[in-house]
Structure 1
Amino acid sequence: MIYETEEELLEKAIAAEGSSFEELDKKGRLNNAKSKGGLGHIIEESYFGYEVNSNAAPDFEELGIELKVTPFKINKNGTVSSKERLVLNIINYMEEVQCSFFTSSFWNKNQKILLMLYKWLPNAERKDYQIYKSLLYTFPEADLEIIKQDWETIINKIKAGKAHELSEGDTNYLGACPKGANKKSLRKQPYSEIPAMQRAYALKQSYMTALYRKIIKKEELVSFSKKEELHKLSFEKILENRFKDYIGMSDIQIAETLDIEYNRKAKSSIALLISALLGIKGTRLDKIEEFSKANIQFKTIRLEPNGLPREHMSFENIRFDEWVNEEWEDSSAREKFVTTKFLFVVFQYNETKSENPDRLPHLKGIQLWNMPLQIIDNEVKGIYGEVNRLMQVGLDLKVKKYGKTTRQENNFPKANFNGVAHVRPKAKDRKDTVTLPTGQVVTKQCLWLNREFVAGVLDKTCGNKSRENP
């Protein structure tokens, strides 16, 4: 059927709301074990009546509209999130580098998207999922500016002969995600002989989550960047500009200048300081639109006068039950670093603690950083593999006495394991423990980035001119 207007198409899509996929499946895809493809194929074939295809043109070519059927979920705490990234079209490395943004396959295919959302339920069968809401989505102007910058980042990496090093962490909203049967699904790239994993454009899971928070929960997110700025400057440069006037000030001086309450001992204070620096005083970081959509997580780093961080950098506690039941390529640990961009807010002490016990840290700069894919799939994977090996053979646990106290020691990978990361405790106290798959009980552990590695990541923006970015 040919739809003559957007209104006619949207009316048809809205009519499906409340219907289950079993009710919509007129071709019997759900009952055919050999039938490949997702729930979107049911909507394409049975509801809209066109054949599943891989055309470069949008699904409803006459209207320039692409169809996407995609899930969301309600979390235990009542919040809403996207179940997955929104995968778009395959990137043809050989052809896409010849295009501008507005002649690209991405723009040709996805400038208007008919979204049909269904609610994912953990214990339900696919046939029982129901279409929850249908809407026609076009990118807001500010989002489009960031997406254009993301597209340029992807294309520039391909032009540099590094399509095999593409990672979703390279960009903010628009990612280049793996798309193929397995890691052996490879394609030629134009400026290197190295085969590159087949990838597709995708709107990040974090981007879709922010969108669903607005659509389903009617949440208000606050933006610190404007479309006019984004048209002239990169997202990273705008972020730098928000902080630059405060470089050299102590955290207390910044708080006084911005007229905000500040308690250096309270973990929440630094987050409020950052939102004030961004010009959106009082906004929680999880309510900042750009951070939510780009999956940007901030980390405060305090450097000693010699340029080394005071501490190693910690992440969430390791869920050992997950680690031992996942393959590395599909693991939550890998996904974390592949899809997350970090905002390092860097302070530095001008004196050692022995020189001045009351010393204050001064803002040195900020840096947006994502872990390079080579490090993720080598050093971090090495830690992951060693931990899983220990879960098979059992930890070597010893209790050692230090003066009047005792401490449990283990043979998890230490800071000298590979120079990038290690595993060590992160717990409230010695009673804050976890039972391992081996049955052994240890203090809760987490993955830490070595402070020497973090120092090497920081570029001249943060004052570490003598250190190279890994």
Structure 2
Amino acid sequence: MRRTPTTPTELLARARQLAGLTLGDLAGTLNTPVPANLRRHKGWVGRLLEDALGADASTAQAPDFAELGIELKTLPVDTSGKPRESTFVTCVELAHPDDIRWETSHVRQKLARVLFIPVLSETGIDLGDRLVGQPLLWQPSPAEEALLRADWEGHMRTIRQGYAHAITARDGEVLQIRPKGARASSRVWGIGPSGELELIQPRAYYLRAGFTAGIIARSFALST
């Protein structure tokens, strides 16, 4: 892992140096083996770029570049630059929802400032041959934060009522919630319909692909 960058400018410059490399090129410089696929190696691309850029987060709740307050998010994109899937943000805080407000939430902390790095991930391209794209350092506009906050507050109302299990991927305009866990049997403590803590399936927040597509389109003047 490289030295942690000390300024956003240094981080962005370092990320730009990676643009045009393949994941295989990058893995080679870090002496990291490239898996055959991501089925058993979820998160490998993100961890590779974290190591290349010198991420310094010590906890899952902190942004990847904790001292800079910047989160790193890789975006698998097609040849037109459009994201192919939703983007994981952070796990849902289920155990004590009454204690959480938007201003202090993990979601807001993670999305306060994000370094998006597109990675060309068309079907048929081997993992090691996928190209790293030009980075984008993004901060939500007031309008974007209002959308995120409205979705988050809607989800939290349902969670506080003990019905986290009733939230589906269809809920939320830009911020959705989906089950999250290494196994379907995974369980964490959360509020149930009775108001008492019970073991429920863990869940996580994701940015919809349409939302990140709009960020990329506005930044790089792409056609949506």
TM-score range, shorter chain: 0.7 to 0.9
* Residue 118 of structure 1: how far off its partner (Å): 1.1
Map 1:192-207 to 2 at 5 A. Answer: 192=193, 195-207=199-211
Aligned partner of 1:121 in structure 2 is 122
Q: CA RMSD in A?
A: 2.4
CA distance in 2, matches of 1:53, 1:32: 29
* Aligned AA (1:171): G
The whole-number CA distance in structure 1 between the counterparts of 2:67 and 2:59 is 16
Residue of structure 1 in register with 2:131 after alignment: 130
- Counterpart in the other structure of 1:9: 11
Identity %: 24
- 5 Å-filtered alignment, 1:154-193, equals 154-192=155-193
Partner of residue 37 from structure 1, selected from 43, 55, 59? 43
1:140: how far off? 1.7
How has the CA–CA distance of structure 1 residues 35 and 201 changed in structure 2, closer, same or farther, with 3 Å as cutoff?
A: closer
Instruction: Compute the displacement of 1:141 (Å).
Output: 1.3
Give distance in 1, aligned partners of 2:210 and 2:16.
25
Amino acid at match of 1:138: Q
The aligned counterpart of 2:31 is 27
**Among 62, 70, 92, the residue aligned to 1:65:** 70
Rg: which structure is higher?
1
Cα distance in structure 1, aligned partners of 2:163 and 2:61: 24
For 1:57 and 1:95, the matched residues in 2 are separated by 19
The TM-score, its normalising length taken from structure 1, stands at 0.43
Partner SS for 2:75: strand
Query: Take 1:154 and 1:129, find their aligned partners in 2: how far apart are those partners?
Result: 35
Q: Cα–Cα, structure 1 residues 31 and 219, in superposed 2: closer, same or farther, change >3 Å? A: closer
- Give a deviation string over 1:392-432, Cα, whole Å, max 9, x none: xxxxxxxxxxxxxxxxxxxxxxxxxxxxxxxxxxxxxxxxx
Conservation of the 8 A alpha-carbon contact between 2:117 and 2:132: yes
Distance 1:49 1:204, change over 3 A: same
**Other structure's SS at 2:117 match:** strand
Residue 354 of structure 1 corresponds to which residue in structure 2? none
Give TM-score, length-normalised by structure 2.
0.85
Superposition pairs of residues 153-302 of structure 1, within 5 angstroms: 153-192=154-193, 195-216=199-220, 218-219=222-223
Please give the per-residue CA displacement for 1:369-393, whole angstroms capped at 9, x wherever unaligned: xxxxxxxxxxxxxxxxxxxxxxxxx
For 2:74 and 2:84, the matched residues in 1 are separated by 12
1:63 CA displacement: 0.8
Q: Distance in 2 between matches of 1:166 and 1:143?
A: 22
Q: What are the Cα deviations for residues 212-264 of structure 1, in whole angstroms up to 9, with x where unaligned? A: 333455237xxxxxxxxxxxxxxxxxxxxxxxxxxxxxxxxxxxxxxxxxxxx
Aligned to 2:147, what secondary structure does the other structure show? helix
What SS class does the counterpart of residue 169 from structure 1 fall into? coil
Assess if the C-alpha contact under 8 Å between 1:161 and 1:191 holds in 2: yes
Match of 1:86 in 2: 87
Q: Which has the higher contact order (CA 8 A, sep 6+)?
A: 2
Greater shift, 203-212 or 116-125, is seen at 203-212
Provide, for residues 139-192 of structure 1, a one-character-per-residue CA deviation record: whole Å limited to 9, x for no partner: 121111111111101110111110111112221111112221243223221244
Matched letter for residue 183 of structure 1: A
Whole-Å Cα distance in 2 between the matches of residues 37 and 29 of structure 1? 14
CA distance in 1 between counterparts of 2:60 and 2:17 reads 26
Alignment partners' CA distance in 2, 1:4 and 1:52: 13
Counterpart Cα distance in 2 of 1:35 and 1:198 = 20
What residue identity is the alignment partner of 2:164? A
Gaps of 5+ in 2: none
Question: Is this contact kept in 2: 1:29–1:35, CA < 8 A?
Answer: no
Question: Structure 1 regions of 5+ residues with no counterpart?
Answer: 221-470
1:44 to partner: Cα distance = 1.4
